[in-house]
Amino acid sequence: MDLLLGTTVAKSIKEECKTQAKDFFEKYNRLPQLAVILVGENPSSQSYVQGKRKACDFIGIKHKDIFLPDTASEEEVLSTIDKLNDDAAIDGILVQLPLPPQINEMKVTSRILPEKDVDGFNPVNVGSLLLGEDVLSPCTPTGVLKILDYYNIKVDGKNVCMVGRSNLVGKPMSTLLLQKNRNATITICHTHTKNLKEITSKADILIVAIGVPGFFKADMVKEGAVVIDVGITRVLDPLSKKGYLWKGDVDFDSVKDKVSAITPVPRGVGPMTIAMLMSNTLKAAFRREEKK
């Protein structure tokens, strides 16, 4: 069984980004810049923003963090995005999700200019991705592809089962795998799928993102399959030093001896999200300068 370490792949991508950032500065005499909007004080979101800032500092990307209270109105958030859209020094804009209930996520993601949409959630980018265009694509699904490529796991002609249909992972993941440069045969499962075990146990590659820790047991996985566990949930554990553990959607201990390769949780898909955000920011910066 091969352990597919996202930490290793992410490190490689960040080194590539560091070189690209240096080239960008030498060519355009400025640093690429990412703006992050955080509404409220969600601990997980705050930690994630800190991780993004650390990655920016390492690579050479300027970062602008905007913190709004959880009482902020939808109009305040949209107005903040408008200012960043108009700011020529900003190459990428990201609004940290989830948002407080008074704010419509679709309105927010739609407001970001497609060329600055480094999360890949603007409907224009989503539609272009479906058509096979080279756009800024969602970071986590793109990160999964990078893991598969790094470890030379081919998806061409393979039966790939995607469990989860969210706009963040399931839908874009399936779209990317369907492209003619990937040629996977996709099955998408969700909460209304009948005979889930029967479907997942036939998949050559199983990708799961449902947010239910330890849900997928050995009898739900095909012998020799490749398993990509996107799920990550904080589970209370009084025996651990921190008082909690991070768990994936896959029951790792029961599955590991049956599969040919699997991503662990943590150190699997998680680190790829920030790495691909850095990559998208640089992609956006270069494209904006070239467009000028």
In a structure prediction context, what are the per-residue pLDDT tens digits for the chain, which is 292 residues long?
999 999 999 999 999 999 999 999 999 999 999 999 999 988 778 888 899 999 999 999 999 999 999 999 999 999 999 999 999 999 999 999 999 999 999 999 999 999 999 999 999 999 999 999 999 999 999 999 999 999 999 999 999 999 999 999 999 999 999 999 999 999 999 999 999 999 999 999 999 999 999 999 999 999 999 999 999 998 888 888 888 889 999 999 999 999 999 999 999 999 999 999 999 999 999 999 999 8
Q: Name the CATH topology of 28-113.
A: Rossmann fold (3.40.50)
Among candidate residues 119, 229, 249, 251, the one labeled active-site is 119
Q: Which of 226, 246, 90 is nearest to 154 (CA)?
A: 226
Is 139-270 in the same CATH topology as 28-113?
yes
Q: Which of 20, 33, 52, 204 is catalytic?
A: 52
Burial (CB count <10 Å: 0-12, 13-18, 19+), residue 220 = buried
Candidates 96, 146, 222, 247; catalytic one: 96
The answer to whether 82 is a known catalytic residue is: no
DSSP H or E stretch at residue 199: helix 196-200
| pLDDT for the residue numbered 28 | 98
Alpha-carbon torsion angle 157, 158, 164, 167, nearest 10? -30
What are the residue ranges spanned by the domains of the chain? 28-113, 139-270
Known active-site residue 52: yes
96 is known as an active-site residue: yes
Q: In 3-state terms, what secondary structure has residue 188?
A: strand
Q: State which CATH number among 3.40.50.170, 3.40.50.880, 3.40.50.720, 3.30.470.10 fits the domain covering 139-270.
A: 3.40.50.720
Q: What is the C-alpha to C-alpha distance for residues 281 and 285, in angstroms, rounded to an integer?
A: 6
pTM, two decimal places:
0.96
* The predicted structure's pLDDT at residue 237: 87
159, 202 contact by CB (below 8 A): yes
